[in-house]
Structure 1
Amino acid sequence: MMNAIDKIPVTVLTGYLCAGKTTLLNRILTEDHGKRYAVIVNEFGDVGIDNDLVVDADEEVFEMNNGCICCTVRGDLIRIIDGLMKRHNRFDAILVETTGLDDPAPVAQTFFVDEDVQSKTKLDAIVTVVDAKHLLGEIDKAHEAQEQLAFADIILLNKIDLVDARELTEIEARIRRINPTAVIRKSERCQVPLEEVIGRNAFDLDRVLEIEPDFLEHFHDHEHDDHVTSFSLTSNAPLSPEQFFPWIQSVAQHFGIDMLRMKGIIAFEGDDDRYVMQGVHMLLEGNHQRPWKPEETRLTRIVFIGRNLPRDIIEDGYKRCITGAQSRQQ
C-alpha cells in the first residue's frame, strides 16, 4: 500500500495543434535530464522518437535510453496506469498527453473517480502548451483552444520569439480573460526547465495557497465574448456550511458539464480553519487547510471558469449561503 508521500505525481499535458507538445515530449524522452518519466501518449508514432532511442519494448511500453518510459494508449487509461504502477520503482513521475481529446477533463477525472489509481497516484498539474504566434487567430475559431486554457494549472506560452512585445502583452491579457489563476511560463521551442512545468504540485490548491496566500485575491471579472468565461464571488461575511455544501453540489449537478474549473477558499461561520475547495466539471473535492491567522481577513473567494455559466443564478445561491449564516446569528 502506498501512502501519500509515495504516490506518483501525474502531469496531464494538453495544447492545441502545433503548439509544441511533441517538442516537449521529445525533450522528456530523449534529454539527459536526470529524471525518469513515464510518458503516456495516444499513439507512439505521433511522438516521432527514433527507433535507436528505444532500449526495450513490448506491445505498449517502450523504455528509452535515458531511463524514461513511453506508453501508448491503445486501451483503457486505467489499465495502462495499473500496468505502469507494477514497475513504479523505475520512474519518478507520469506525464499523460491528451492528443485527440477536446479537453483534458476525461484524463484528469480518472485520478478522482478510480480508487485504485487514486491510491497510487496524485494529479500534479494540468499543463497547456500554447502557440504564441497563432493563439489569437485560433482562439475565436476553436472552442477547444479556450477550454484547454481554462483547465490549465500551468500554461507554457511557447514560440514567444515569433511575436513582439506588444503582441505578447495582448496574448497574456487574452489568456487571463479566460483563466485568471494559471501560472504562465514563457518559452522558445519549449526550452523551459522541466522542473518549472513538471513536479510543481500545482493542482494541489492547499499547496499553492501556502506559497502564494493571495493566489485568488487579485482577480477581476471580465466582460468579453469568449466561449469560456470566468468570474469570482467574494464575501467578508462567513458562510453557512449547511447552506454552502448543498448549494455547491447543486451547482456541480446542474452546471457541471459547463463548469470547467472551480477554485475557492471559504470562511465558514464558527470555523477557525480555512476551507479549500476545487472542482473539475461535476467532481468536487475540499478540506480544511489551516487556521485563519489572527491578522488575516476571513474572506471567502471562489473563482468559476466555464462555458457561459449563469452568473446570476450561481451568485443568487451563493448569497443565500451568506444570509443563512447571518440569520442564525441574529
Structure 2
Amino acid sequence: MVRDFVRREVEPVAAEHDREDTVPHGLIDRMKELGLFGITVPEEYGGMGLDYTTFASIFEELSKGFMTLSGAIGTHHILTYVLTHYGTEEQKQRFLPDLASGRKRGGLALTEPSGGTDMANLQTTATKNGEEYTINGTKMFITNGRYGDMFCLLARTDPDMEPRHKGISCFVVEKGGDGFTVGRDLDKLGYRGLDTSELIFDNFAVPEDNLIGGKEGAGFGMVMSGLETGRINIAARAVGVAQAAFEAAIKYSQGRETFGKPISEHQAIQLKLADMATKIQAARLLVYDAAAKKDTGQRVDLESGMAKLFASEVCLEVAMESMRVHGGAGYIKDLPVERYYRDAPLMVIGEGTNEIMRLVIAKQLLRLPEYQL
C-alpha cells in the first residue's frame, strides 16, 4: 500500500517540492486517508494499532521516495506515543482520535535555541496559576511548527529540583489564544518541503488538564521513552534514503559506459556497490531488531541508539558513494542523487546527534549485568 503510494504519487513530484521548498499538502492528505497518522495508536482510539516493525517499514518506504514526507508523521508519533503510554484516559479520549485520523497534526516541542541534547537543562518554564500553567520560552527546529495543531512540550515546572531532570513536566499545547506565536521558518540544506519553525511562548496559558498524566516532574522519562521510537523512525528513514541512493547508483552504473563497457563491469565500481549493499542490509537489520524488541515492551535505548547511529552514518556514506558512481551527473539537480546527499545529514543530527548516541550506547553497555566486574 505505502510502496504503491510512493511510486505512483510521491516520486513524480518529490523533486519539485524539494526544489521549491513547498509543503506537499495533497500528499499529506493522502497519508491521512491511508491511516499513516495513527500507525501505532490503539484501534480503540481510532488508530491502526500496528507494531513497530511495520512502523519502521512505513518510514523506510516513505523515505525511499521522499524523506521529507516521513517528517510529517515523525514527531507526530512521539506525541501519540507519549499520550498512549502516559496520558490519562480523559486525555487519550480527547486527543488521540483527532491525531490518529490526521484531523490534527502533532509535533515535539523539545529543542531550544540554547540546544536540544542537554534536555535536563532546558529553559522553557511552566508556572502554575490556579487551574492553568503559564508557559514562557522559545523552542527551535520544530517540525510541523507552522502547520501542526498541537505539540508535546517539555517545560520546567520546578526550577529548584535536583537532579534537574526531575523538575521537567510534559504538556499538550494547542495552537490558539494569546501568547503562542510561530516565529521564523528555517531555510534548510535538505529535508525541504516541510515546515521547520521556531515556536515562541509568551505567558501562554495551558489548562492543567493538558499536563500529560496529570503529574508534574515526569516529563523527562516520558519523552526519553518516546525518543526510542523516534530513533527507530530516524534509522528507518536513513535506510530508505540509503536504499534509494544505492538503487540509483546500480541502475546508472549499468547504463553508463566508459572504455567500451558499462561502468558496472569495472571492478572499482563493483567494490563500491558491494560495500553499499552490505552496509545497508546491516543497517536495516539493526533497525528491525530494535523495532522487534520495542514490540515486546522492552526499553530499547541501546538498540535504537545503535540503529540510529549506524544507519545514519551508512546513509551519509552511501549518498556520497552514489554521487561518486554518478560522477558529474550526480552533482546536478537533474537527478535525485544530490537530494539524497543533502537529506542524509538530518539523520546524523536528528533525534540526538551521533556523538550523543555513542555516549548513550556506552552508558547502556556499562549497565548490562554481563559486563559487570
Structure 2 length normalisation: TM-score? 0.26
Higher strand share: 1
Q: Which has the higher helix share?
A: 2
